[in-house]
A and B are shown apart, each in its own frame.
Chain A
Amino acid sequence: MKLTMASSPHNHSHKSLTRLMLSVIAACIPGLIAQVFFFGTGVLIQLVLALVAVSIFEAAIMLIRKRPVWPALSDGSAWLTAVLLALSIPPLAPWWIIVIGCLFSIVIVKQLYGGLGFNLFNPAMAAYVLLLVSFPVQMTAWLPITDLINTPIGFADQLRLIFTDFTASGFSLDQVRAGVDGLTMATPLDTVKTDIAHGLTVTESMQKPIFNEWAGLGWMWVNLGFLAGGLYLLKAKIINWHIPVSFIASLAVCSAIGYIASPGTEPGTLFHLLSGATMMGAFFIATDPVSAATTNKGRLIYGALIGLLIYLIRTFGGFPDAIAFSVLLINIAVPLIDYYTQPRTYGHGAVK
């Protein structure tokens, strides 16, 4: 075995904070493209809104705190928060939804705790939970994918919907959401959950037009897009493998056990992995370096606990998806996880 000895000066990895954050944003692009393709250009409008809003809020709070504005803004962390939040909310949600979310994530969750590096919770997910709890109607109004919409709407109409709640021809979001059969359609996770509650089996539920063989139409590709972006992040060594792998493995094992125990009411592993925000959560949200566990062993535990919670909330909880809740709940446990997983210092005895 060849041992290489590294002595100082060590090579610098040339990964500045800005570069890291911008790389993560870049890695969101495949998922973003998939989302735009299936859910329309509303995603891009939300993205622009969010970027503008976080820039304003971050600059304002830095001025209030009497600190230099540009360094805080240009590290890109606020923009990353904006991107993640814009990708999480329904594409045609009214404009004030994302503005309130940006305000909460930047001002309260991040800067009131001391700014980047001091926030206990993932800002984007805390804002998402705030919005979901406060405005459940707007935050669950996901469009079915463009192919299934009765009256497909263009960019101008999407813009109007976001800012004025109505399209040019006077349709409200609810009317636009109605599918080919005139019924408003929910997201795949929501549909399966509701149908099971109504006594249908998963197979029956997945006959509906919003599903393909494995998961929700469109949603599958969004998840695969984020998976691709995540693999790039792994390859570029921007994130470690520990959190995504233990996250996905834990969710896969839990859902497999559930499927074996009750195949009629459990959609199974592949559905769980390719629905909702699973891949985005595994690679982009749970891996937030500030609010995640910092030791390698701790990261494995952290990811696994999130996966477990996601499965439990999706299956037994009141909400269809659970990435944000799970990440926030395990964020609380991070100091404890870190405390009990400190690695042994080389040359010293085991931790007592």
Chain B
Amino acid sequence: MSELKTLYKEGVWVNNPALVQLLGLCPLLAVTSTVTNALGLGLATLLVLIGSNVTVSIVRNWVPKDIRIPVFVMIIAGFVTIVQLLMNAYTFDLYQSLGIFIPLIVTNCAIIGRAEAYASKNPVHLSAFDGLMMGLGFMIVLVVLGAMRELIGQGTLFDGADLLLGPWAQSLRIEVFNFDNQFLLAILPPGAFLGLGLLIAAKNVIDAQIKSKQVAPPEAEKGPRARVTSLT
């Protein structure tokens, strides 16, 4: 039980793939212009992550160490293809609006990172739960960032949710503000970088507040910082 709790904490907060590991930033920055896109890609990544973690964990004792990375990539690519075909079949409009970023899930380092760091060393049920939690952590960040950008950029939330959830979801669209002019920067890539930076800053502030409330444990020794330029 405590292992599951650790995995939950690690995936969603302490070791969040997007906010702490900063992995898989390419889709994170590219598709979060609306909540719908973010949710679509988050779900796709979540499914791939669970599938690949389970499979990698099943085959972990038969894969030779030397060729494990290509094998993991093949497994991930297989799941991405499945998800891509599913989205093509059932959510075609969303499939078109996400475009290249669905096949690009293969190259999302968060997924291969979990395969290598966790699933290849742990039993199936834990790996599956780890995949779920890491995927959930990634998806939450995607959705929050998407909501921020959509809200600031065009003043709406869940615009185009029917692409993902079917026609009934049109009523989900909320118009919070009505702008005459879109705030283009929030929708353009710089908005994604700024938004992610603000989210990371917010997480650090919350962490610092939690830490200051607890009794300070002895400081762990920090690793050496990588300098870009030397002092001399």
Contact = CB atoms under 8 A, between A and B. Distances in A.
Nearest to A131: B185
Contacts of A135: 181, 183-184
A67 to B, nearest CB: 16
A335 interface: yes
B184 A133 contact: yes
A137 B229 contact: no
Nearest to A138: B181
A115 B162 CA distance: 44
Contacts of B186: 134
B185 A130 contact: yes
B201 interface: yes
B144 interface: no
- The contact size tier of chain B is 10 to 19
Nearest to A97: B181
A336 B190 CA distance: 23
A64 B229 CA distance: 34
Contacts of B181: 135, 137-138
A295 to B, nearest CB: 14
Interface in B47-83: none
B188 interface: yes
Contacts of B190: 133
A71 to B, nearest CB: 24
A108 interface: yes
B22 interface: no
Given A108-B194, A112-B201, A134 B229 contact: no
A130 B152 CA distance: 14
A22 to B, nearest CB: 32
A134 B190 CA distance: 10
Interface in B185-231: 185-186, 188, 190, 194, 201, 229
A136 B184 CA distance: 9
Contacts of A130: 185
Query: Which 7 pairs, one residue from A and one from B, show the smallest C-beta to C-beta distance?
Result: A134-B185, A134-B184, A339-B229, A133-B185, A134-B183, A130-B185, A135-B181
Interface of B: 181, 183-186, 188, 190, 194, 201, 229
Given A134-B185, A138-B181, 18 more contacts: A108-B194, A112-B201, A130-B185, A133-B184, A133-B185, A133-B188, A133-B190, A134-B183, A134-B184, A134-B186, A135-B181, A135-B183, A135-B184, A136-B184, A137-B181, A335-B229, A336-B229, A339-B229
5 contacts: A108-B194, A130-B185, A133-B190, A134-B184, A339-B229
